[in-house]
Amino acid sequence: MIRERIFLFLINVFMPPLTVLLIAGPNTDFIINCLLFIAGVLPSHIHAFYVSCTYFHRKRRVRKGLPPVKATGTYYKAGIYSERILAGGKERVRKVRGERQQGGRGEDMSGRRHEKEYE
């Protein structure tokens, strides 16, 4: 884990979008960081460090068997859109509650509506 952090830190010093790509994958966070890199290098570094610190903090909590956030905290973080980062590298477990019989819709832990997945 420490090697991974040092490796990503060194990459972040020279190429912040690559760090975000390695952590989050090619999604919204990567695009935001690329735009920040084009606009100015310093905002890109700040965003990449923010993303990586959030990821490693939540990853450490998940490794200890705790949820990615404290019970009083919110799951979502400002400026971070990757589910992988928000969940600390794990798939987010969705608990369905209040299912309707006909629609097959329910709510996950955050209260968002989603379609029920059938096998």
Please write the tens of the pLDDT for every residue from 12-27. Answer: 999 999 999 999 889 8
Quickly tell me which residue has 């059938």 as its tokens: 118
In a domain, residue 113? The reply is: no
Number of domains, the chain: 1
For residues 8 and 72, the model is more confident at: 8
pTM greater than the 0.75 cutoff: no
Q: pLDDT-derived band of residue 70, with 50, 70 and 90 as boundaries?
A: confident
Query: Residue 37, class by beta-carbon neighbours within 10 Å (0-12 exposed, 13-18 middle, 19+ buried)?
Result: buried
Across 72-101, average pLDDT = 66
* For residue 95, pLDDT beyond 80: no
Place of tokens 């969705």: 94
Query: Considering the domain boundaries, does residue 50 fall inside one?
Result: yes
Residue ranges making up the domain that contains 17: 2-91
DSSP codes of every residue in the chain: -HHHHHHHHHHHHH-HHHHHHHHH-SSHHHHHHHHHHHH-HHHHHHHHHHHHHHHHHHHHHHHTTS-SS-TTS-S--TT---HHHHTTTSPPPPPPBS--TTT-EEE-TTS-EEEPP--
Residue 108 covered by a domain: no
Report yes or no on 106 lying in a domain: no
pLDDT of residue 92: 55
Asked whether residue 78 is domain-assigned, the answer is yes
Residue 116 included in any domain = no
Classify residue 14: in a domain, yes or no: yes
Looking at the domain assignment, is residue 76 inside a domain? yes
CB atoms within 10 A of CB 36: 20
**Which single residue is written with the structure tokens 């329910």?**
106
